[in-house]
Structure 1
Amino acid sequence: MNCAQWAEARKVRTSNVYETYLIGLLNGLSVGSGTEFWFAKGAELKREQVFYWMDVYCQAHPLSEVFTGAVTLMNENTGNEYHRRVGAPPE
């Protein structure tokens, strides 16, 4: 899914499936890397905050993919802990 699809769905209020995809993607990245996402900064990040962040990201990067935005958000919210974990050599 790309940012144009995200933005259009959010604009016409038919974005439930896109929002659910994003939440699942973030949960999968979090579990797969062992990186806390939703409480990474000591307070719960709300779904609405995530959706708004993606709205702003997609407005700034209209040719990007939502997956790329999700990884960017993971790194931003975890202080790059996600990047360190997925970039680390296997044990």
Structure 2
Amino acid sequence: MADVKIRGLTDETVKLLDTLAHRRHRSREEFLRELLTRIAYENASEQNRKFYDAVLDRTLKTIEMNTRALSALLQSGAVSHVFVNEDGRVKGERE
């Protein structure tokens, strides 16, 4: 495991951290280790959520565009029926 050393904290800050750790029945080191780990993972989770939100948004836009295109084909008479094969492929047919 890696070690982290933080310099320049005021005495007041250290006392507040010690109070928070004591309330949670932790040493200062345990408290800060848990806190820093949680912060690191929350940040990673937020980045993942933003990525998947963007992927979902692009997917939904693609589905909407495909739906409009299919609707236009049906309305124009270019195809009258649309089927989805067992392998997932879409097939349009004229009457």
Is the shorter-chain TM-score for this pair beyond 0.5, marking a shared fold? Answer: no
**Larger C-alpha radius of gyration, 1 or 2?**
2
Task: State the TM-score, normalizing by the size of structure 2.
Answer: 0.29
Give the number of the structure whose residues are more often strand, by fraction: 2
The structure showing larger relative contact order (alpha-carbon pairs under 8 Å, at least 6 residues apart) is: 1
